[in-house]
Copies of this chain bind each other. A is one copy, B any other.
Amino acid sequence: MTVKSKREIILDSAEIRMRTVGYNGFSTREIANLVGIKAASVHYHFPSKADLGVAVTQRYCTRFFEALGEPSHSPAPIKHFATLFHNALINDKKLCLCLILGAETSSLPETMNQETNHFFKHNLEWLEEALISSQSLSEQQAKEKAAVILASFEGALLLSNSLSNPALFDSITAYFTEQ
């Protein structure tokens, strides 16, 4: 295993905090304490808080898209999609970053909003393609159902996390995967 750069360690801590309390809920000093350095050193790696927020968001999206892969490579694509969200909630015990950023959208650096929008759009297209090939829906039907699924899964994360009820997430996603 390659040794992590300090930059990556900072990104790790910042992602944890952003997915827990949002962009407006954490400070660079807090990240510094978590990493074991001083705030000034965080600013060496990321000149501004916005730079850090953007880097976290870009890394999050890149990793999610990598884990997602191509819809055609999965025998049960909707289930695969649900599993990624399930892992965020159960393994990471965190929300989807773009759920929190979407809720905070009016107070974020514009680049972060663009990343968040790209996250949603890419997932909608992925789901649409998956639905067309796996459930032989029309393009229009697939587009509509893709939005229903993405909305449901993000909402399922929200409800399950708020109510501290992980099983609720699986119950909701099962509605779309058990067909």
* Contact surface of A with B, Cβ cutoff 8 Å: 20-22, 24-25, 95, 98-100, 102-107, 113, 116-117, 120-121, 144-145, 147-148, 150-156, 158-159, 161-163, 168, 171-172, 174-175
A159 touches B147 (CB 8 A): yes
Closest Cβ of chain B to A157, distance in Å, is: 8
A104 touches B22 (CB 8 A): yes
Contacts of A172 in B (CB 8 A): 144, 147-148, 151
* Residue in chain B with minimal CB distance to A143: B171
Contacts of A100 in B (CB 8 A): 103-104
26 A-B pairs within 8 Å (CB atoms) are namely A20-B106, A21-B24, A21-B104, A22-B22, A22-B24, A24-B24, A24-B25, A98-B162, A99-B103, A100-B103, A100-B104, A102-B158, A102-B159, A102-B162, A103-B103, A113-B162, A120-B162, A121-B163, A147-B159, A147-B168, A151-B152, A151-B158, A151-B159, A153-B155, A154-B158, A155-B158
